[in-house]
Amino acid sequence: MPDCACDSATAAQLQRRTLWWVLLINAAMFVVELGWGIRAESIALIADSLDMLADAGVYALALLAVGRGLRRQRRAAAVSGILQIGLALLVLADVLRRTLQGSEPVSGLMMGVGLLALTANLLCLALVFRHRRAGIHMRASLIFSSNDTLANLGVIFSGLLVALLGSPLPDLIIGLAIGLLVLSGGLRILQEVRLSATG
């Protein structure tokens, strides 16, 4: 049922339910990906897990903005964008560390966990897409879910290349790409906040 067909109280309730689901999915996948990423020595998986953590935080902030005024929505979106940027910088720093110190990623674990994360994010994307016109806080959530699916595909592809080439380089490249993607997503959200403030 589209949001416009609901009264504001019902729409807010539906948004909260959706945000709770995607928050729980992302929090669970953060734990799974981080644990297996460390075991697989994969910066791509670890980067993706931190992206999941950032998203869980973003969805928690979006929950606070549901049913509130535009100012509260802008504030929640701005905090979520800053959170994304901070975590992206941590990922980029770890990519540099692993490039200098070396690593031996396990390709099979990368592909298996990456596929599980892709499935989880496609579910989140489908849930959030129904509320894409509900406000800036929901549009920010849609940006995160869209970025996540691209990151998951990157993890799977890098795992395949690690297996084929016998080199950690694809893992480092995808870890770098995910870090930059998260950084870009955070900057896009801050841009949306600025546009909504001037529009």
pLDDT at 3 over 60: no
pLDDT at 138 over 80: no
Higher pLDDT, 164 or 135: 164
Tell me which residue has tokens 């993890």: 155
* Angle (nearest 5°) at CA 5 between 69 and 66: 25
Instruction: Please indicate, yes or no, whether the overall pTM of this predicted structure exceeds 0.75.
Output: yes
Higher pLDDT, 85 or 197: 85
What pLDDT score does 18 carry? 85
Please state the rounded mean pLDDT for residues 90-112: 91
| 49 neighbors 37 (Cβ within 8 angstroms) | yes
CA distances to 59, 69, 71, 163, 199 from 145, in Å = 11, 24, 23, 28, 25
Domains in the chain with CATH codes: 3-198 (1.20.1510)
Tokens coding 93: 């720093």
